[in-house]
Structure 1
Amino acid sequence: MPTLRQFEAFLTVVDEGSFTRAAQQRQVSQPGLSQQIAALESELGASLFHRLPRTVTLTPTGRALLPHARAAVDAAARGTTAARAVVGTGAGELRIGTVYSTGLGLLPGVLTQWRTEHPDVTVRLYEHRTTEGLTAATAAGQADVAVGPTPPGWRGRVRVLGTEEFVVLLPPTGGPDARSGEIALERLAEVAWVQYAADHGLAGELDRAARDAGFHPRAAVRTEQTAMAPLLVAAGLGPALVPAGIVPSSFGGRIARPVPAITRELAATTGAEPDALTSRFVALVSRRAVLMPPHVAARLG
């Protein structure tokens, strides 16, 4: 019979896409992790992964096992949390899914407060490139709560946190003037932009906004990392369209609201019956979520 530890090792390899990163995440040796996966494969009588040079992908057997392994680990975690709550220890683990931009902007302040109130609760973050990836993983039981853009058609509970604005970041000098705190995107039709990689969740925001403004944006550089775009803009490589929450207080360029405004609704989503620990986190994030950082609001005027 497969063990819970084997399922946890399997899921970590799936989530990290690599035996090396999974071993680092679980703080075990790579041979030790590989032995756990090998024992699970022996128990099931089939390989779970295609081992490629730089990554791993699931075999048909692995894909069939995935939702059941997540359900087993999820049930064990919820049982542990419920039992500890009954005996009053207050300990447990909270698993939070998010997209990169929300994890960078909104969550740090919320998690600081959460840690103060629940010092014995371990937080596990699962960060996704796209809203679609986050929604699918949450539906499969990866996380207790997802914080990010409101998923359409979600069948569980949805706590809307508010509306987040996108802003245009401009290099420190040169290009169109934005002293009014606003800029029409068509004024930037001829410049090359700092853009995200095509499979990044934020890449489509600029494409859609530019299409509505009547142009196709040219790329000066594309980055995989959410936090890199403001740095590249400040270095003078071009403008970028980003959520206000990811702009660091140290940003050295100019900031303007796009005209027309570009926004997205953020929400905390859970299953139909979240446990008490998850419900407390949802209540906290709904109270403490900052969708427009004060340093950005001050510069917009």
Structure 2
Amino acid sequence: MATLRQLEYLVAVVDTGSFTRAAELLHVTQPALSHQVRALESGLGGALLERLPRTVRPTPLGRAVLPHARAALADAERLRAAARRTVGLEEGELEVGTVHSIALGLLPPVLRAWRKLHPGVRVRLREYPHADELRAATAAGQGDLAVGPVPAAWDGPVRELGVEEFALVLPPDDPLADPPGGVLPLAALADRDWVHYAPGHGLAEVLDGACARAGFRPRPAVRTEQTAAAPVLAAAGLGPALVPATVLPPGLDAAVLRPDPPIHRPLAAYTRTRPDRLTTAFAELLAARARP
């Protein structure tokens, strides 16, 4: 199997017409260069160079091999250049896994800022309905960075991002739409039918857990798989909804209240191994934007 070093030595000898000049150009000793060329010839099964009194020229086998050697060296240089550009945050692709609510709320302004800072770096999003699915996919090697609820028993690096705050959404004409200070005890909605989330959706567990702590179980009036649909359905009068505050659409005709007690969940960015420079830069921007 030919190595890149052997191919580089072959091309240098052909281009300079001399083992001595090629060795000087590559800053190696002539015996070392000659040894590598002989090893390449042995591996390919024949002489590649004809040694003449005043010059060196390729044999027919050498002429056949030479274009492929040049192409391999050019490919290697392009690979090194691409790596340098990625390390320099000029080009590349970053794969980010997240849950639906964060893809709707936290990430869009971060992605917009990232695009302005690093227009040559593409971002691919992988979205999951539940934090457990995000964690499992990340552990299985999908994505460079996961952004979601803090994972339990995670072995890799974890960077905390703060908390995701939740709000209650009611139609504007609801009798409870204007409580003192805009704060409504969750227990005040115990007798209501709720805009709930589909089974397997991570926010279904958040709602069920919050209501259980308030002493009741929410009755679903409707279940949705789409996080963005919950506040719209609540505003339309189908029942109260508990939604991440960051996903509330601008201009929503609804009463948006703070639950009592407050409901939130910690968020984090995490990776399987020590992140590279590209992933680290995105996580730093995310942390700066996520915290108040």
Alignment TM-score, normalising by the size of structure 1: 0.67
How far apart in 1 are the matches of 2:176 and 2:137? Answer: 42
Query: Paired residue for 1:136?
Result: 136
Query: Paired residue for 1:175?
Result: 175
Partner amino acid, structure 1, of 2:160? V
Query: Paired residue for 2:196?
Result: 195
Partner amino acid, structure 1, of 2:108? P
Q: CA deviation at 1:237?
A: 1.1
Q: CA deviation at 1:84?
A: 4.0
Helix, strand or coil at the partner of 1:173: coil
Query: Paired residue for 1:248?
Result: 249
Distance change in 2, residues 1:104/1:81 (3 Å):
farther
Query: Paired residue for 2:265?
Result: 264
Distance change in 2, residues 1:122/1:198 (3 Å):
same
Q: CA deviation at 1:223?
A: 0.6
Distance change in 2, residues 1:125/1:190 (3 Å):
same
Partner amino acid, structure 2, of 1:95? E
Q: CA deviation at 1:88?
A: 5.7
Higher alpha-carbon deviation: 112-121 or 172-181: 172-181
Q: Are the equivalent residues in 1 in contact too, given 2:170–2:177 (CA < 8 A)?
A: no
Q: CA deviation at 1:290?
A: 5.8
How far apart in 1 are the matches of 2:129 and 2:258? Answer: 24
Q: Are the equivalent residues in 2 in contact too, given 1:110–1:285 (CA < 8 A)?
A: yes
How far apart in 1 are the matches of 2:188 and 2:159? Answer: 37
Query: Between the two proteins, what is the percent identity of the paired residues?
Result: 54
Alignment of 1:97-136 (within 5 A): 97-136=97-136
Helix, strand or coil at the partner of 2:202: coil
Distance change in 2, residues 1:128/1:80 (3 Å):
farther
Q: CA deviation at 1:89?
A: 7.8
How far apart in 1 are the matches of 2:284 and 2:201? Answer: 29
How far apart in 1 are the matches of 2:139 and 2:238? Answer: 39
- Report Cα offsets for 1:47-94 as digits up to 9, x if no partner: xxxxxxxxxxxxxxxxxxxxxxxxxxxxxxxx8897243796821100
Aligned residues: 213
Higher alpha-carbon deviation: 282-291 or 114-123: 282-291
How far apart in 1 are the matches of 2:219 and 2:126? Answer: 32
- Report Cα offsets for 1:230-272 as digits up to 9, x if no partner: 1111111111011111111221100111111111111111122
Alignment TM-score, normalising by the size of structure 2: 0.69
Which structure has the larger Rg over C-alpha atoms?
2
Q: Are the equivalent residues in 2 in contact too, given 1:97–1:145 (CA < 8 A)?
A: yes
How far apart in 2 are the matches of 1:185 and 1:247? Answer: 19
Query: Paired residue for 1:83?
Result: 83
How far apart in 1 are the matches of 2:92 and 2:265? Answer: 32
How far apart in 1 are the matches of 2:196 and 2:162? Answer: 25
Partner amino acid, structure 1, of 2:172? P
- Report Cα offsets for 1:81-137 as digits up to 9, x if no partner: 972437968211000000000110000000000011111111110000100000111
Unmatched segments (≥5 aa) in structure 1: 1-78, 292-301
Partner amino acid, structure 2, of 1:283? E
Q: CA deviation at 1:174?
A: 2.1
Query: Paired residue for 1:20?
Result: none
Alignment of 1:140-289 (within 5 A): 140-180=140-180, 181-289=182-290
How far apart in 2 are the matches of 1:155 and 1:133? Answer: 17
Helix, strand or coil at the partner of 1:205: helix
- Report Cα offsets for 1:194-231 as digits up to 9, x if no partner: 11101111001111111111111111111110100011
Helix, strand or coil at the partner of 2:153: coil
How far apart in 1 are the matches of 2:209 and 2:84? Answer: 48
Higher alpha-carbon deviation: 125-134 or 208-217: 208-217
